């Protein structure tokens, strides 16, 4: 199969590696508005060729949109205009707006809205890795709006990547990811800013940083070009979770201020319930 | 050297493994108020014998206090009462109160206040691991209040563990760890509670949880028996950082509410500054 990957960064590049390795893609074409990314992807062997969008789509059976989600929302209707037999899929972190952007498009059926739940805090073609995606969940949204052959093709892609499939409507997806992904990034950004602020007066603040700190702060390295559009598009859900999270933090604050250590104990025991989920 | 470890859990047990492996400890005696922990530590080979406190101290050259910090604060004056030639060190996460607890003790010089910056979210003897501590920082506080031979012995222990030594007064230590350790635990506990609250209405909320979520929430598995005393003892510093962290989260909230995405971009770019610290 001939595959075009639009956006040759962390996700697009890692997908290219996997699809080549599994023998699914015989030929991979990269499209990237940043020429330097496209050249790098070619030099790294992530893609076999770099072409302008229209030529790339014309030569492909499958088109993967792997740009930041604001660009994907603009590109998707254009790609569908160019498509006939092609299957078009996206891999963005929100699903409601991109689905809305082609809701009444004549070729809506060729599009499959997806979100593989894998990523790292790094970006660009150099961040692409072998063995990404494996054993993680991937979401296919609003499956009934896609043609059966297009869904079958995308399901095959994700099975080859070793992911397990979850089906959901786009609205529910966006609520869920606000809880299990977007809020983690906000807390991590805010925690980094908290400590960096203190660093201005205390040089040695990071000398003692260990594994626990790194674990909660590493997502703060994430790229704003990816995350600002995610927070924009999922604003309402993210605000709901952020308000709840601030309320939860205020409970810890109140325990300390009032020296109510029995309640503090309860809050921590309740949080330990996460052991059921994270093995 | 004969070593007593009081509190045969994650830290005490991991230290026992390392001190035996490096040939520093010929014989390790475990002391634990939980008989089941002591037996487990013996069965796992972490310690060579289990004895009551007084006998253990009498037979030892080095005594390591590795209990939760509230217990350590009570035990330390008792252990110093029993000590003559022995070196006594603690490994607790706060330093101000434990130093205060023996400030005017006749044998204060035998005590060295330390905090190795390593841990995991697990606890108990089964959580002890080989290779812990290596390449992390360890703090020695108020060094001038300890006898020179006692400091030299403790420095040797930490060098054998592969840690690099940082010297600090107890007050500064407690401020620093509030920023680079204690707040990470509070955000993680609060984030777990945020999502567990939502789970009550949404069964499938964790189906999509991936690496980023796990990273920010894993500390929420941590033991309240360890953490409640830490937050109690370091209340003022933790409250300062928690207030700053809530203020930082409110900036993200305001950006979303006011759709001020330029400022959101700035906040994330600023948070990316953590790349200087976390390689």
Selecting from B213, B235, B245 the residue whose C-beta is nearest the C-beta of A191 gives: B245
Joined tokens for residue A259: 């020296």
Cα–Cα distance measured from residue B216 to residue B111, given in angstroms and rounded to the nearest whole number: 36
Candidates A125, A201, A215, A128; CA nearest to B274 is A215
Tell me if B22 sits within 8 A of B160, measured CB to CB.
yes
Q: Which of B73, B79, B109 is nearest to B94 (CA)?
A: B73
Please give the structure tokens belonging to residue B145. 């209040």
Asked if the domains at B2-169 and B173-276 fall in one CATH topology, the answer is no
Query: Is-contact A121 A222, C-beta < 8 A?
Result: yes
Residue A157 contacts by C-beta under 8 Å, 6 or more apart in sequence?
A19, A24, A62, A89
- Residue A246 to residue B243, Cβ atoms within 8 A: no
In tens, the pLDDT along B80-100 reads 999 999 999 999 999 999 999
- Residue A211: the pLDDT is 84
**Residue A213: which pLDDT band, with cuts at 50, 70 and 90?**
very high
- Residue written as tokens 């204060």? B108
Cross-chain Cβ contact B208/A181 below 8 Å: yes
Query: What whole-number distance in Å separates Cα of residue A73 and Cα of residue A102?
Result: 9
Express each pLDDT in A100-154 by its tens digit.
Answer: 999 999 999 999 999 999 999 999 999 999 999 999 999 999 999 999 999 999 9
Q: Which pLDDT band holds residue A202 (cuts at 50, 70, 90)?
A: confident
Chain A interface, best mutation among B131, B196, B216, B228, by max A CB count within 10 A:
B216
Q: Do B253 and A246 touch (CB under 8 A)?
A: yes
Looking only at the bridges linking them, the beta strands covering A137-141 and A164-168 are parallel
> Do B248 and A213 count as a contact with CB atoms less than 8 A apart?
no
Mean pLDDT of B24-47: 97
Contact yes or no for B208 and A175 at CB 8 A:
no
Question: Measured between beta carbons, which residues in chain A are less than 8 angstroms from residue B95?
Answer: none
- Token look-up 């009032």 returns A258
Written as six digits, the tokens of B186 are: 């509070």
3-state SS assignment for residue A64 = strand
The model's pLDDT over B119-163, given as tens digits with 9 standing for 90+, comes to 999 999 999 999 999 999 999 999 999 999 999 999 999 999 999
User: Domain spanning A2-169: which CATH class is it, in words?
Assistant: alpha beta
- Complex ipTM value: 0.93
CATH number of A173-276: 3.40.47.10, 3.50.50.60, 1.10.3660.10, 1.20.140.10?
1.10.3660.10
Q: What are phi and psi for residue A39, nearest 5 degrees?
A: -65, -40
| Confidence at A14, pLDDT banded by 50, 70, 90 | very high
pLDDT at A33 exceeding the cut of 90: yes
Q: Do A249 and B250 touch (CB under 8 A)?
A: no
What does the mean pLDDT of chain A come to? 96
Contact between chains at A215 and B215 (C-beta distance less than 8 A): yes
DSSP, collapsed to helix, strand or coil, labels residue A165 as strand
CB contact under 8 A, B209 and A117: yes
Mutate to test the interface with B, among A191, A228, A241, A246 (most CBs of B within 10 A): A191
pLDDT at B199: 83
Residue A140, SS3? strand
Buried b / exposed e over B9-31, threshold 16 CB at 10 Å, is: bbbbbbbbbbbbeeebbeebbbb
Identify the bridge partners of residue A263 per DSSP, sorted by sequence position.
none
Q: Cα–chain-centroid distance for residue A123?
A: 11
Q: Tens digit of pLDDT for each residue in A245-273?
A: 999 999 999 999 999 999 999 999 999 99
**Can you tell me which residue has the tokens 């601030």?**
A246
A203 CA to centre of own chain: 35
Token pair belonging to A84: 């006939």
The answer to whether residues B123 and B226 touch, using CB atoms and an 8 Å cutoff, is yes
Cβ atoms B30, B49 nearer than 8 A? yes
Partners of residue A222 in chain B, C-beta under 8 Å: 268, 272
Residue A46, judged by CB atoms within 10 A of its CB (0-12, 13-18, 19+), counts as buried
SS3 B26: coil
Q: Which of B195, B214, B208, B218 is nearest to A117 (CA)?
A: B208
Residue in B158, B190, B250, B265 to test binding to A, most A beta-carbons within 10 Å: B190
What distance in Å separates residue B62's CA from the closest CA in chain A?
Answer: 25
Taking alpha carbons only, the member of A186, A201, A214 closest to residue B251 is A186
pLDDT of residue A180: 93
What is the structure's pLDDT at A118?
A: 94
Inter-residue contact B193 to A124 (CB < 8 Å):
no
**A176–B204 C-beta distance less than 8 A:** yes
Angle at B126 between CA B122 and CA B132, to 5 degrees: 65
What's chain B's average pLDDT? 96
CA-to-CA distance for A268 and B228, rounded, in angstroms? 8
A65: enclosing H helix or E strand? strand A62-65
Instruction: Say what the pLDDT of residue A259 is.
Output: 98
Q: Domains of chain A: which residue ranges? A: 2-169, 173-276
Report the percentage of chain A scoring pLDDT > 90: 93
Lowest-pLDDT choice from A129-133, A166-170, B95-99, B199-203? B199-203
Using CA atoms, how far residue A6 sits from A88, A121, A227, A242, A267, in Å, is 11, 20, 18, 32, 45
Average of pLDDT values for A69-86?
97
- Locus of tokens 């992390």: B136
Contact A268 B244 (CB under 8 A): no
Closest approach of chain B CAs to the CA of A72, in angstroms? 18
Closest chain B C-alpha to A276 CA, distance in angstroms: 10
Beta carbons of A95 and A139 less than 8 angstroms apart = yes
């Amino acid at each position: 199969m001939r595959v075009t990957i639009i956006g040759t960064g962390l996700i697009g590049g890692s997908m290219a590696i996997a699809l080549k390795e599994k023998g699914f893609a015989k030929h991979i074409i990269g499209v990237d508005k940043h020429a330097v990314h496209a050249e790098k992807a070619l030099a790294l062997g992530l893609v076999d060729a770099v072409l302008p969008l229209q030529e790339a789509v014309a030569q492909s059976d499958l088109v993967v949109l792997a740009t930041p989600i604001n660009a994907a929302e603009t590109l998707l209707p254009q790609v569908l205009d160019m498509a006939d037999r092609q299957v078009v899929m996206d891999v963005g972190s929100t699903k409601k707006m991109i689905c809305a952007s082609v809701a009444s498009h004549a070729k809506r059926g060729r599009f499959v809205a997806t979100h593989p739940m894998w990523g790292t805090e790094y970006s660009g073609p150099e961040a692409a890795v072998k063995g990404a995606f494996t054993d993680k969940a991937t979401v296919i949204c609003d499956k009934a709006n896609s043609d059966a052959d297009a869904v079958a093709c995308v399901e095959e892609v994700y099975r080859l990547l070793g992911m397990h499939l979850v089906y959901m409507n786009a609205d529910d997806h966006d609520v869920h990811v606000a809880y299990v992904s977007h809020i983690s990034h906000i807390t991590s950004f805010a925690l980094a800013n908290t400590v960096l602020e203190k660093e201005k007066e205390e040089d040695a603040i990071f000398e003692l940083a260990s594994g626990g700190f790194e674990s909660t702060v590493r997502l703060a390295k994430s790229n704003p070009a990816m995350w600002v559009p995610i927070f924009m598009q999922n604003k309402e859900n993210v605000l709901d979770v952020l308000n709840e999270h601030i309320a939860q933090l205020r409970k810890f604050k109140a325990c300390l201020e009032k020296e109510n250590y029995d309640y503090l104990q309860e809050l921590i025991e309740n949080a330990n319930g996460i052991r059921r989920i994270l093995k």
